[in-house]
Amino acid sequence: MRGHLSPISVICSQVRRVAGYYRDREYIDRLFKIAAPISLQSFVMSSLNMVGVMMIGQKGDVAVAAVGLANQLFFLLTLVVFGITSGSAIFTAQLWGTRDIPNIRKVLGLSLLMALVISSGFLILAEFFPTQILEIYSEDSQVIALGSACLQIYGWSFLFFAITASFAAVLRSTGNVHLPLSISVITLSFNTILSFILIFGKFGFPAMGVQGAALAALVSRVLECIGLLAAIYGKKSPIAIGFRELLSIDLHFAGKVLKPVLPVAINEFLWSMGITAYNVVYARIGTESIAAINIISTIDNLAFVVFTGISTATAIMVGNCIGAEEENKAYSYGGRSLGLGAVTGIFLGGMILLGSDRILELYKVSPIVLENAHRVLTILGLMLWLRSMNSIMVVGVFRSGGDTRFCLFLDGMIIWITGVPLAFLGAFTLHLPVYWVYLLAMSEEISKWCLGMQRFFSRKWIHNLAQTISPITGAFEKPVI
């Protein structure tokens, strides 16, 4: 009979067991191949956005707040479009597992048309109702006037963004992550250089301030769209959809695709409105508060690039496995990614906590903004591992598994059940400072994690959507969900 094992022996045994779980070279190789370019693209985007905020910060707290609030409309658009494109990518990733190119193009055409319709509505709001939009967030007349001017310039980029996002999402779902990366790195680098020239009036250009930053962003979005389309059609990519294909929408086909896609779009809309509610709360607390949150958002985006890569790569890998009827492999891939996200989140959160002082020294804003930002950054560092796992669960696992209705509840409704009510309570009833309100808002992450982990282990999230479409004709078989 064995003797009683010591705690150290038990811990070592568990560590070896976990390490063995990650010895699957196929998983590691595929994850790195897909996640690394996506994370690099997100890193470049977030880094250059941070540089942009730093440049705007030279113009004062009002400028930082104005640009941050003007970006809220684009933020809403990006999430709704992301809901459409990522929902469509559920199909294209699984269809790529069977190399069903005709139906991939059909899904792309439907996704593109929906994204263009949505972005057109947002363009109308930006051009004709900018003041009314920003008055939702702030009562500061200077912030509203400056933000409105930015919004009317940048709003014209919405249509180009919709086209780029639609094609890029399908490219990634088929494993081509390098093309969107290359185009984004080039255009974003150009955006940073042009922003510097136009904000401060270099090389003979007038100093336009925050309006210069908006104009630079518009020019960059146009170039990004043109560059991506030129590469896709110039190389005759499998997703180079023709104009006639784009307009020939099969309503029966569209209905089957929209059944899982619409919950994703509604999910993103509800979640984005929840984030909007948070920003309304922060802005109503004061200009200094929303300025601090805008600074933290750039840092948060930079820290989150790794999890964006892991989530997207997991979604592609899990979707491909389910489409190829390898459900056990899909489950194990999802589990490995969740564990990897937790460990990476703890590590990066610790780095943020250790380097918070030096990070915030880069921003030339008032002492009260820096104090608020420092405390919010501490909460961000402590909660990063939890948020990373939730992101991987929703985007990387459940959606790619076709479990979009549960995602709608988990990600789109929980925020309104817990986070938003507590944030309003903290700000307007208890009159707490912005960092305590931010902590109350984060309560949604705990609820999502508890419910999400239970769903993951149940395996009820695995649905083979590719089986609802026959490979060539587009005729429908009996759904599995």
pLDDT in tens, 222-269: 999 999 999 998 888 878 887 777 777 777 777 877 888 888 888 888
Contact between 455 and 376 under an 8 Å Cβ cutoff? The reply is: no
For residue 423, pLDDT beyond 50:
yes
Write out pLDDT tens, residues 116-144: 999 999 999 999 998 898 888 777 788 88
For residue 318, pLDDT beyond 70:
yes
For residue 412, pLDDT beyond 50:
yes
CA distance 42 to 191: 15
- pTM, rounded to two decimals: 0.71
> How would residue 461 be classed by pLDDT, with cut points 50, 70 and 90?
very high
Question: What residue ranges do the domains of the chain occupy?
Answer: 24-465
Cα 71 off chain centre by: 14
39 versus 419: the higher-pLDDT residue is: 419
Contact between 121 and 81 under an 8 Å Cβ cutoff? The reply is: no
The upper half-sphere exposure of residue 298, i.e. CA atoms within 13 Å in the direction of its Cβ, equals 28
Helix, strand, coil percentages (3-state) for the chain, rounded to 5, are: 80, 0, 15
Contact between 126 and 154 under an 8 Å Cβ cutoff? The reply is: yes
For residue 77, pLDDT beyond 70:
yes
From residue 447, alpha-carbon distances to 58, 439, 443 in Å are 39, 14, 7
Beta strand extents in 46-199 (DSSP E only): none
